[in-house]
Chains A and B, each alone.
Chain A
Amino acid sequence: MMLSLTEIVKYFHRGSVNEVLALNGASLEVKRGDFVSIIGSNGAGKSTLLNCVAGCFAPDSGSIVVKGTDVTSWPEYKRAAYLSRVFQDPLRGTCASGTIEQNLAMASRRGKRNTLAMGVKKREREEFREQLATLKLGLEDRLKDRAGLLSGGQRQALTMLMATMVRPDILLLDEHTAALDPKTSAQILELTDQIIHEQHLTAMMVTHNMQHALELGNRLVMMHQGQIILDVEGDEKKKLQVQDLMERFYAVRGETYSDDRALLV
């Protein structure tokens, strides 16, 4: 098993009037090579689940095991040896004041100790150029440009590349196309699918877009009120349609649904 989440409970602002139960005993087992899309309405706990895996905060109870190692109490930076991430905000994944090659150099050492050797080595540049060429954005001729000069889509593509330069055991994608325009969003999704398939990566992708969740990945997980209420994979997942998801969702909730319909589709 690549990742085992067991009975994760996470409160925010515990003990105050603003107390929120973000994860209410969520459990999930992710196999090697799984590409899991995670959907759910606002506040369902999707991002909290991903952040718990990444180590942004420790859960109040429950355990997180990656490749047989219990990482529940590990700080975020230590988990980087196993995980890589792409964020919703394109600005968060790259260092704006650093050049493209410096960003790539830092990503090429993910999880390794930084030494006093030169930050960008000559022999690395050629590799960087080749890898950037695969993005087909012309970035291979702009190694010395600052990442801050790139557009949101370019930065997100660069972040995708950086997240997978050193093969991660688990790739975490947190609504990584939500801040992009529809055309760029589609390009980044295509790139995501391509990289995950070529490298046979294990990935978890949070999305608000049901269509994306259905198109990508071999497995689909739906969350509601901090719990996992639906988990389908393989052929069963292929047959799913947006309509099915809506029905399953409202059946579980048993509530009025006019408000959330807009958010889910």
Chain B
Amino acid sequence: MTTYAFLGALEQGCAYGLMVLGVYLTFRVLDFPDLTVDGSLPMGAAVSAVAITNGVDPFVALFIAMGGGFIAGAVTGFLNTKLKILHLLASILTMIALYSINIRIMGRPNMTLLGQDTVLTPLLNLGLTPSVAAPVLFSGFCILVVILLIWFLHTEFGLAMLATGDNRQMITSQGVNTDFMIIFGVGLSNALVALSGALIAQNQGAADVNMGVGTIVAGLASVIIGETLVGCRTITRALIAAFIGSILYRLAIAFALSAKLGAFRVTPSDLNLITAILVVAALTAPKLKQRWAR
């Protein structure tokens, strides 16, 4: 792997790291498999791209994108809790609806940000090259969000959210409205995913309605890789693991892309297959390990 590919993977790992933290919130904390992310990632990209081309400050555009993502996630939560639609199906419905909505937001299926100021502009003005500026800025975002989430999940409110995912009956009988917890939690998760999408769009200079395909699988793979290699004994550790998992996942992908077997090369279009296999392997490995141990 070249240094260039390594830095690229680091940059991607950090930019998608926020998405992975969002997936961790729904998948692990709330025990809510949420496919909304495939739609809220491009939504964040679309919202921030439209905001920037309309003269909004790139940093403010990030917050607007987060607001959009929060609403998308809250809709999924609402469909599930109030309208009693199965969580998986509720999130798929929001996801396909977002496809149309994202095209409406942009007015077309994709949009470039060439020549526009982005969140990276201040760093580039300091003389940093893009391949250094992006990982630095994005990892800063991730570390900040990890710290905020560690704090949040140790508060009274955060504990109630953890309990909602673990034992809904118990926390309901302690007087917590679990419907609200799920709507808020899935909203928060998708706000992070949209933030990730906004950063990715500003970094690559374009938003595309199809950029979200496979987000959930990449997110799950990252969460599981992090848990396996870093561990998840405490919430603090699990959150750090999710972030590191995101970087390791992108490094693994970069490594696979650079590998050659005779005349055979992995192409970017093979990535979804590789990721799916990776997730299946990671999900079944603990069970296989148990069987061999016997």
Interface residues of A (CB under 8 A from B): 54, 75-78, 80-81, 83-85, 87, 91-98, 102, 105-107, 109-112, 114-120
- B172 an interface residue at 8 Å Cβ cutoff? yes
Contact A109 B174 (CB under 8 A): yes
Q: Which residues of B contact A117 (CB under 8 A)?
A: 155-156
| Residues A98 and B162 in contact, CB atoms below 8 Å apart | yes
- A selection of 29 A-B contacts at a CB cut-off of 8 Å is A54-B173, A76-B172, A77-B173, A77-B177, A78-B175, A83-B173, A85-B173, A95-B162, A96-B166, A97-B166, A98-B163, A98-B166, A102-B159, A106-B159, A106-B171, A106-B174, A107-B174, A109-B156, A111-B174, A111-B175, A112-B175, A114-B156, A114-B176, A116-B152, A118-B156, A119-B155, A119-B158, A120-B154, A120-B159
Enumerate the 4 nearest inter-chain pairs by beta-carbon distance, A residue then B residue, closest first: A80-B175, A119-B159, A114-B156, A111-B175
Residues in B whose Cβ lies below 8 Å from that of A85 = 173
Per-residue A-contact encoding for B11-23, CB less than 8 Å = 1, 0 else: 0000000000000
Q: Mark B158-191, 1 if CB is under 8 A from A, else 0.
A: 1110110011011111111110000000000000
A94 touches B170 (CB 8 A): yes
Q: Is the CB of A84 within 8 A of B156?
A: no
- Asked if B173 and A84 make an inter-chain contact with CB atoms under 8 angstroms apart, the answer reads yes
A95-B163, A96-B166, A97-B166 given; 17 more Cβ-contact pairs under 8 Å: A76-B172, A77-B172, A77-B175, A80-B172, A80-B173, A80-B174, A80-B176, A91-B167, A92-B170, A93-B170, A94-B167, A105-B156, A105-B159, A107-B174, A115-B157, A116-B152, A118-B155
Chain B residues with CB below 8 A from A81, complex form: 175
Residues of B within 8 A of A109 (CB): 156, 174-175
Q: Which of B118-152 contact A (CB under 8 A)?
A: 152
Contact status B166-A95, CB under 8 Å: yes
In the complex formed, the residue of A with least CB distance to B29 is: A97
Inside 8 A of A78's CB, which chain B residues have their CB?
Answer: 175, 177
Q: Select from chain B the residue with minimum beta-carbon distance to A54.
A: B173
Give chain B nearest CB distance to A173 CB in angstroms: 12
The answer to whether A110 and B167 have CB atoms under 8 Å apart is: no
Q: Considering the chains assembled together, what is the distance between the CA atoms of A115 and B154 in angstroms?
A: 11
The CB with the most chain B CB atoms within 10 A, among A96, A106, A111, is that of A106
